[in-house]
Amino acid sequence: MGNLSLITIIIIAANVIISFKAFGDYGFFEKYKFNVGAVRRGEQIRMFSSGFLHVDNAHLFFNMFTLYFFADVVIDYLGSFKFLIIYIGSLLLGNLLSLYFHKDEYHYSAVGASGAVTGIIYSAILLQPDMSLYMFFIPIPIPAYIFGVGYLLYSIYGMKNRIGNIGHDAHFGGALGGYIITLILASWLFETHLLMIGLLALPIVLLFLLKKMGKI
């Protein structure tokens, strides 16, 4: 882990400043959170702005702490500009998938950088699949690709069973964004990490098969 890059500092600062503004201003929070009804009425800014809002300090800290660990992997391989494309693209695709799955639930709302951060995690896994991840509750390192596949499968399970107050579909959409955009920006991965690309694609294919079958 090297020094934090400027773009990572800017993103973390934006999340902190905007989230803290919303903590003390309920009207601001309501105006910029992701809400299906509002988005369908034309308030598309919420698709972007909701990614910088959080429900509390713990939610904000966990997302920014996770970003802190994975951002440099992507930046080292692809540079700051492409990192930013992946971050914003994953944020938007996470909310697009939420909109797709909840399009008839006009009350459905969500906030958080989780989709964007998950996209960065999956980009990092594609770029450096041999890295290991440490989970708080598991004392041994987990290969990144096992975490990647497992997380997507858990997200499908969470979406199917509506587990917890968690936007599993936004997480999945963010991962999908990180996956697709990274492959577009780093097409050389098809020559070096083809097996990993196929492995991470399996849960994505499974999700859309389940959706087509009406299981989700």
Ordered by where they begin, the domains of the chain are 6-212 (1.20.1540.10)
Tell me what pLDDT residue 143 has: 86
> 159-192: b or e for each residue (b if 16 or more CB lie within 10 Å)?
beeeeeeebbbbbbbbbbbbbbbbbebbeebeee
**Predicted TM-score of the model (pTM):** 0.89
- What per-residue confidence (pLDDT) applies to 151? 79
Mean of the per-residue pLDDT values of the chain: 89
Is a pLDDT exceeding 70 seen at residue 81? yes
Q: Measuring CA to CA, which residue among 191, 63, 179, 190 is closest to residue 124?
A: 179
% of the chain at pLDDT higher than 90: 60
In Å, the largest CA–CA distance within the chain is: 50
- Listed residue (175, 155, 176, 153) closest to 164, CA to CA: 155
Stronger pLDDT, 149 or 161, i.e. the higher one = 149
Residue 1: predicted pLDDT: 45
CA–CA separation, 208 and 215 (whole Å): 10
Q: Is the pLDDT of residue 7 over 70?
A: yes
- Per-residue pLDDT of 26-65, as tens digits, reads 999 999 999 999 999 999 999 999 999 998 999 899 899 8
Question: How many angstroms separate the CA atoms of 38 and 1, rounded?
Answer: 40
Residue 137 confidence (pLDDT) above 90: no
Look at residue 2 in the predicted model and tell me its pLDDT. Answer: 47
- Between 168 and 77, residue with greater pLDDT: 77
Q: In this structure, are residues 207 and 176 in contact, taking their beta carbons and an 8 Å threshold?
A: no
pLDDT at 209: 87
- Residue 192 token pair: 């070096």
Average pLDDT over residues 59-80: 93
